[in-house]
Structure 1
Amino acid sequence: MEKKRILIISRSFYPENSPRSLRTTELVKEFARQEHEVTLLTVRNDEYHNAFEEEFGVTIKDIGQLKLPNINLNGSSGAKRLFKRGIRRGLLQLFEYPDIELMYRIPKVLKNEANYDLLISIAVPHPIHWGVAWAWRKVDPIAETWIADCGDPYYGLENDSFKKLFYFAWIEKWFCQKVDYITIPFEGGRSAYFNEFQEKIRVIPQGLSFPDRHNTNHTENGVITFAYFGNIDSYRHYAVPFLKKLNSIEKEFKFIVYTRNKNLFKGCLDQQTLDKCEIHDYVDRDTLLNSLAGIDFLVHFPYQEGTQKSLKLVDYNFLQKPILEYRNDEISDNSLREFLEYNFEQKKAFEDYRKYKIENICNRFLELIKEDRQSSIRLNNMKLIQ
């Protein structure tokens, strides 16, 4: 395999525990394992990143701590909290505050970067892409091929209560004109992007490394045990009715949760139901998968629209546990009652998790260098003919 010089730009990276951090970390590790020359631009943390560089043979450079402060709601209540929430939402809507700072920060750190075969910018936040676009030049570009990797869409995002203001469409189109490829995690997200850039879109799902297979058999021990992990705020539309439904269930059960928003669960569940729950903070992925090896089923709340897909489904499928997809309708309520009686006939169909193996995902990114090179040759040949 021909060795490549690869530059990755991401605000989220190990040891942060988030989907975008996982995306970045897995790519960096696997590209390094394949012996490519990997440079990462991120918010550097010497405590963790010095050892990471030494272990994986990569170079980690610092974007620098962002200076624009977050508007923190912790410790606020009543009218003060409402006022701060209004200010935070207003600044976000008007200026993409505070992440807009990345649009100005990225060009500065790219000044001394050149001669890469591949540049991958990873969002969210999307101002990372905008910053690369600001620094990008057709003559003497930073890399032969630039790929903008998008988790959730930006202007076409459907699970936010507030639509982006019209002028952000101009920014997204400006950046899309410059980038070579836009990668999205699944085909359903394509419709969230502008029609004129559809030919640049490639579907490359999340890449993961998978631990050794654990025992996946459930045990009917008299107490049905089910679990949910990950982001909950994007799924309130189905999660809140589900949690309130649990309050009416007299049967004994255990509900295990790993979340950053414990308050949502505590606000929806009465004390009797809370006594049946184990609500934990996030843990590292290997620990999470190991801890859920003995449960009976998993709970999934889908997006209301079809342009996004939950990353947690990859690990749900790896665990090979029956999946209850809850949509707050009569069918879902019937399925819940059946699941609680160890009847999993209405479980969500499994996908083959192996297509998400990180080595396959990295190879798909590398193939875009060849595709871009071939497109350039064809374009140059057409110019010569004309």
Structure 2
Amino acid sequence: MPYRTMNDTRNILIVSGACYPELTPRAFRTTELARQLARRGHRVTLLLPNRAIFHEHPLREEGLEVIFASGPVEGAEGSAVSRRNGRLRRFMPEIVQKAVLYFYCHELWVKYDPGLCARLAELRGPFDAVLSISYPAAVHLAVARAMRRNPVLRRAVTIAEFSDPPFRGDVAQNVFPGYYLWLKRWGRLFDWFAVPVEKALPCYTPYMDRSRIRVIPQGFDLDAIPLPDYVPHSEPTFAYAGRFYENIRDPQFFFDFLETVDSPFCFDLYINHLDDRFADMIRRAQQRVRGRIVLHDPLPRERLIGRLAEADFLVNFDNTTSNATPSKLIDYAIARRPILSFNDRTFDAGAFRAALRGDYAGQVRGIDLADYDIRTVAARFLALIDEGKRTDR
């Protein structure tokens, strides 16, 4: 799609729970899209939670205005609800936690920010489009509630973007089915839905009309990251960047395997949040393996990709669920190093030992970076806006 002329400028409101300088896939998604839409000449208003980190390191781009949710500024310790629930969970046995979280949906109630809804209700626009970005789905709930109170939002083309299937996050894999019916009810207020991968569609079609869903990948600025020249290492060096999750992305099997490797290696870990269980797992493995396991401080995305480009190859731990594709695979592809991707069911010890010898026959293939170019992704959102409001909801 060609760039618009000034006469085609759109007023676009983006509502998100994450943004620069946070180091999460959701933050990258919001940051890249907001910047690109502004660069294309559109007037973009980005509404974020009222957190100190966003005030201290504001996102800047010509044509982009950042505003914040109503209420007091939230510090690094998190919201009062989140702190309270964290304290309560420490005293609950795991089976009790699961029972409580089945009925008390963490993704909605703990993550819900009433300040987003309050600020949305008072905006006067006008807006041609409102783009609500999850995770969490509580962002969409805040937008839906505000639409009932603010006709300025109802007149805009409204799009709910789901980065992950709702109510299937890292805290509780299953919730009371009534939440899905509730999602279907308030989801009718949106004109369109966007999901990042085709294989996730079965997670949405029971609650959303397929004709209202568009598959739009996460976008990246492919020209913004200079890569160093690759120089092979004297000892095999591989890297992982991301997080670990119990039951979804648990690497215990891999660290157990590394104890059986009888040759030197270096495993670089770039993890932006490390739970106590996984920190203990890494410490134990560091003492038991023959090679080196090095835990690094988190890095901004551009610097991280440059560091990944220096490794001999990269490892990705697949989610055990089949309805999401880790966005780190795209960052890995940008780094242009061989990628081995697996989970505890698909891990091939022989293929990994071959990679340690420089044989990458088991690497991931078929990632077309052109599909993830932020210019292409932004154009697809603009095309969806141009389709206009749905009248058959």
TM-score bracket for this pair, using the shorter chain length: 0.7 to 0.9
Deviation at 1:365, TM superposition (A): 0.7
Deviation at 1:118, TM superposition (A): 0.8
Shift in CA distance, 147/234, structure 1 to aligned 2, threshold 3 Å: farther
Q: Distance in 2 between matches of 1:36 and 1:177?
A: 27
Superposition map of 1:145-224 within 5 A? 145-155=157-167, 157=168, 162-195=173-206, 196-210=208-222, 211-215=224-228, 217-219=230-232, 221-224=233-236
Shift in CA distance, 312/234, structure 1 to aligned 2, threshold 3 Å: farther
Letter in 1 for 2:209: F
Q: Equivalent residue for 1:299?
A: 315
Q: Equivalent residue for 2:367?
A: 351
Secondary structure of the 2:294 match is: strand
Deviates more, 1:89-98 or 1:272-281: 89-98
Within the alignment, does 1:62 sit opposite 2:68 as a pair?
A: yes
Q: Equivalent residue for 1:368?
A: 384
- Deviations 1:296-341, CA, capped at 9 Å, x for gaps: 1111122223211111000111112111123335861110111111
Secondary structure of the 1:294 match is: coil
Shift in CA distance, 161/28, structure 1 to aligned 2, threshold 3 Å: closer
Q: Distance in 2 between matches of 1:273 and 1:285?
A: 29
Q: Equivalent residue for 1:36?
A: 42
Within the alignment, does 1:15 sit opposite 2:25 as a pair?
A: no
Quick check: 2:332–2:339 contact (8 Å CA) kept in 1?
yes
Q: Which structure 1 segments of 5+ residues have no match?
A: 380-386
Q: Which structure 2 segments of 5+ residues have no match?
A: none
Residue identity over aligned pairs, in percent, reads: 25
Deviates more, 1:7-16 or 1:255-264: 255-264
Shift in CA distance, 336/50, structure 1 to aligned 2, threshold 3 Å: closer
- Deviations 1:345-373, CA, capped at 9 Å, x for gaps: 12111412132121211111111111125
Q: Distance in 2 between matches of 1:170 and 1:258?
A: 39
Compute the RMSD of aligned alpha carbons. Answer: 3.0
Letter in 2 for 1:111: A
Given the two structures, how large is their TM-score scaled by the length of structure 2?
Answer: 0.84
Shift in CA distance, 300/235, structure 1 to aligned 2, threshold 3 Å: farther
Q: Distance in 2 between matches of 1:349 and 1:235?
A: 26
Quick check: 1:238–1:326 contact (8 Å CA) kept in 2?
no
Given the two structures, how large is their TM-score scaled by the length of structure 1?
Answer: 0.85
Q: Distance in 2 between matches of 1:187 and 1:88?
A: 33
Q: Equivalent residue for 2:116?
A: 106
Shift in CA distance, 203/247, structure 1 to aligned 2, threshold 3 Å: same
Q: Equivalent residue for 1:95?
A: 104
Q: Equivalent residue for 1:81?
A: 90
Secondary structure of the 1:102 match is: coil
Q: Equivalent residue for 1:225?
A: 237
* Larger helix percent: 1
Shift in CA distance, 235/214, structure 1 to aligned 2, threshold 3 Å: farther
Quick check: 1:20–1:124 contact (8 Å CA) kept in 2?
yes
1:261 is aligned, of 255, 271, 274, to 274
Deviation at 1:8, TM superposition (A): 0.7
Deviation at 1:94, TM superposition (A): 2.8
